[in-house]
Structure formats: C-alpha cells, structure tokens
C-alpha cells in the first residue's frame, strides 16, 4: 500500500517534466512570421455632386420691385421663404399709423440671403447679403 503514493508522485513528476520540456521547446522554436490580416480598403465615397441651386439669385433679387405682392415675388423667385417673422410699429399718435411688417428671408446653402419686408402684402423693403 505504501508504493501507491510513490508511483503516483513519480507519475505527477513525469507529467510536470514533460510539460516543462514541451513548454521550453516551444520557446526555443523559431517563430513563424505572423502577418496581420489584410484589411479591405474602405469603400470610396461618391464624388460630391454639383452645388445645390440657390433659392434666390442676385438677378432675381434685382427684378423685385416695391409694391409687388408676396405671390408675385414668389413667382419670380420660384421658392417660398426659409424664414419668416413680423415686426409691429405702433407709429406716432397723431402723425403715423401703426404698421405691421412681415419679413421673409430666403437663405442659400452658401450663406447668401435676401430679406424682404411686406406691408399690407406689398413689398416695401428689400435687403440682400452676398447674392450672386
């Protein structure tokens, strides 16, 4: 009965020894060149298309005349505004009437714009910034 632990100890020592030999052998063995996997090139993005057409051009702006209605202005420009706001002026009692001005802005993608002011649905004021 006393020989079983000795045999078991020798067997365990043998397994450890084999594991060590195999482990050391793996270290000394020449390493294979491990290459990084080839990456697939990213798909190229499509070339940008032409710049979007402006909502309003300088020629269209110059064609606008005071007293035109909003509808006539939109007929010339061909697009509705990108921004709208109103401004109320109480006037001066005894001198001027109150006035409500509706301001419409057409903004192009390049940052240029036109702002038009209508009083009683008639073009009264116009301003532009950078139209081409």
Report the pLDDT value the prediction gives residue 10, as an integer from 0 to 100: 65
DSSP 113: E
Q: What is the pLDDT of residues 83-96, one digit of tens each?
A: 999 999 999 999 99
* Domains of the chain: residue spans and CATH: 58-129 (3.30.1450.10)
Q: What is the pLDDT along the chain (132 residues), one digit of tens a residue?
A: 556 665 556 655 666 555 555 665 555 555 555 565 666 666 666 767 777 888 999 999 999 999 999 999 999 999 889 899 999 999 999 999 999 999 999 999 999 999 999 999 999 999 999 999
Report the pLDDT value the prediction gives residue 80, as an integer from 0 to 100: 86
Question: How far apart (Å, rounded) are the C-alpha atoms in residues 77 and 55?
Answer: 7
Question: How far apart (Å, rounded) are the C-alpha atoms in residues 54 and 113?
Answer: 9
The fraction of the chain above a pLDDT of 90, given in percent, is: 55
DSSP 97: -
């Amino acid at each position: 009965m006393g020989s079983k632990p000795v045999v078991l100890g020798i067997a365990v020592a043998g397994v450890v020894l084999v594991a060590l030999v195999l482990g050391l052998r793996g270290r000394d063995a020449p390493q294979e060149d491990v290459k990084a996997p080839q990456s697939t090139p990213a798909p190229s993005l499509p070339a940008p298309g032409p710049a979007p057409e402006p909502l309003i051009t300088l020629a269209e702006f110059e064609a606008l005349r005071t007293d035109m209605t909003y509808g006539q202005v939109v007929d010339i420009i061909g697009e509705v505004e990108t921004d709208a706001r109103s401004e109320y002026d109480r006037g001066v009692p005894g001198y001027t009437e109150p006035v409500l001005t509706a301001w419409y802005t057409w903004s192009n993608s390049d940052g240029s714009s036109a702002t038009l002011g209508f009083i009683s649905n008639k073009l009264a004021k116009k301003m532009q910034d950078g139209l081409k």
